[in-house]
Structures are given as structure tokens and as C-alpha cells.
Amino acid sequence: MPIHEKSLIRPENLKTHDQLVIDGVDVSGHWSTFIESRVVTDYNERLEEEIAALPGGEHIHRCWQCGSCTNSCTVNAINPDFNPRFWIYLIRTGMESELLRDKDIIWQCVSCNKCTYACPRDVFPEGVMKATAHWLELKGHTPKSKSTIFDEEFTEQVIATGKIEEGRVIRNFFAKTGQPLLQDWLVEMVKRIARRLPFKQGLTMALAAIFRPKTKNWKKARAAISEYVQEQEQHRRKSLGIEDRT
Ligand code: SF4
Ligand code: SF4
């Protein structure tokens, strides 16, 4: 089974001279190729700990770099730069600046979990990808992704009422992400659902959209869940050294 290796020699670090003569010998062109020395001084020694503190990243320390995750990865098959094994290596060795070079593609994980089934060490690479994408957002390296905004909207509704009203989730998500509500695919989907939906169920959904029903005796549960979510959030921010931003 091939291991998807990744070269640490970047093209911009390869130097050649078009015209170079040394001791009377012409070594122009690729004969004079050399690699610029690469010195890493800005290690983040807490990087592995920080990723491990986020949901999904807990087992990153188990990785033995076999490459099975990258080898089985759906996204790697179409984008060779998407390399979970390599990112786990960078995280475990504290090479934050190297990791940040790929910050704009880490979110591309499609959560197919092929890597999770392939991993012989139960690292849960899919979880590590999620934790890393979350870490990038929390540290301010990338803007909040649409999937994070959707998750937040969903969670807010569950905590507020103990129920999910899909229409409200979609409306609020579109408003927060600046998308128009009347999108062709959505209008078509609503039409098709409306055609097949039993009248009673349609009426219940319409009333729920207007009156926003709550789960009975939800107040205590809401307080307990809110407290737990807040505690977890504070714990994560503290682990990442960003508690003063709350
Ligand atoms: S879950 Fe993500 S990292 Fe794992 S195989 Fe699928 S796309 Fe790749
Ligand atoms: S995460 Fe698992 S599959 Fe990927 S390199 Fe590490 S041990 Fe191998």
C-alpha cells in the first residue's frame, strides 16, 4: 500500500543559476541547483495539546504515521495537497507555521470517515480534521465557516426551546450568511414537500413556524445545558490560551 508522502522541499526554496562558472567549469542551469537552508524556530510546543482539547482531536497522540488515512481519503484522491497524515505530523511536532500554509484547504474534509475505518490506531483522523478546522477559526486564522454558523444556529435553537423548527434554522442561517431566502433549489424543494405533505402535518409545521413551541418544562434543562456548553467553551478557550477574547 503506497504511503502518500509529502515533500518538505518547496519549489520556492530551490535555487538555480542561469549562468554560473566555478573554477572554469560551467555549471549553469540545473547543475547549480541547491536547496535553501530551512530553519524552523517558531515551534508551538502546545499545538498537539491544543488540538487534543477540541472535540475530535483527543486521540491525535496515538498516530504512528502509517499514512492509511491519507491513502484512503476521498478528498486526497482529487486534491493531493489534502493530506491528513502530514497535518497530524505537523501538529505533533509543533510546526504551526507550516500547518498554516494549508489553512485554506483543511476545511475541505467531507466527513466520509473512510480514514476513521482505515486507521489502525483509532486516532479518528476525521475528528482531528474537524478539530483542526475549529482551532483555525478559534485562533482567528480563518473566518467562521458556513458549517460552523449552521451548527451554532442549530444548537441555539435546541437550547432555547428543546425543539428544532427547520424553517427557522434555514431562515436564520441564510440571514447570518447573507444568502437570499428565495433560492431556486429551496423554492422547488418546498413546493415538492408541500405537494406530498399530509394536511395535518403541514398545518402543525406552519403553526410551529409562527408560534415557536417549546418542550414542556424545558426551563431547567435549558439552564443545565447552557451552563455545560459555557463551561466547555471556557475550557477550550483556556486550553488554547484565548480566554481573554471571550
Ligand atoms: S473524513 Fe475527511 S479526512 Fe477522512 S477520508 Fe473523509 S475526507 Fe478524508
Ligand atoms: S491517523 Fe491513523 S491512519 Fe493516519 S497516519 Fe496516523 S495512525 Fe495512520
Question: Is the confidence at residue 123, as pLDDT, over 90?
Answer: yes
Q: Tens of pLDDT along 28-79?
A: 888 888 888 878 888 999 999 999 999 999 999 999 999 999 999 999 999 9
Question: Is the confidence at residue 246, as pLDDT, over 70?
Answer: no
Q: What DSSP assignment string belongs to 181-200?
A: S--HHHHHHHHHHHHHS-HH
Q: What is the mean pLDDT of residues 192-198?
A: 87
Ligand 1 contacts CB of residue 123 (under 6 A): no
- Give 83's pLDDT tier (boundaries 50, 70, 90): very high
Could you say which DSSP state residue 60 is in?
G
Q: How far does residue 63's CA lie from ligand 2's centre (Å)? A: 5
Q: How far does residue 112's CA lie from ligand 1's centre (Å)? A: 5
CB neighbour list of residue 126: distance below 8 Å, 6 or more residues apart: 56, 109, 111, 112, 113, 115, 116
Q: How far does residue 204's CA lie from ligand 1's centre (Å)? A: 39
Ligand 1 contacts CB of residue 73 (under 6 A): yes
Question: Is the confidence at residue 243, as pLDDT, over 70?
Answer: no
> To the nearest whole number, what is the mean pLDDT of the chain?
90
Ligand (nearest to CA of 121)? 2
Nearest CA to ligand 1 atom 7: 109
Q: pTM (2 decimals)?
A: 0.80
The answer to whether the CB of 83 falls within 8 A of the CB of 76 is yes
**Parallel/antiparallel/unpaired status of strands 14-17 and 21-22:** unpaired
pLDDT of residue 1: 43
Place of cell 500500500: 1
Ligand 2 contacts CB of residue 63 (under 6 A): yes
Residue with the bigger pLDDT between 3 and 50: it is: 50
Q: How far does residue 60's CA lie from ligand 1's centre (Å)? A: 15
pLDDT of residue 131: 96
The answer to whether the CB of 86 falls within 8 A of the CB of 125 is no
Ligand (nearest to CA of 129)? 1
Q: Tens of pLDDT along 140-188?
A: 999 998 889 999 999 999 999 998 888 889 899 999 999 998 889 888 9
Least confident of 6-15, 47-56, 168-177, 221-230: 6-15
Ligand 2 contacts CB of residue 106 (under 6 A): no
Give me the helices (H) in the chain, please: 47-52, 68-72, 74-78, 84-92, 96-100, 114-118, 125-138, 146-161, 166-176, 184-196, 199-211, 218-239
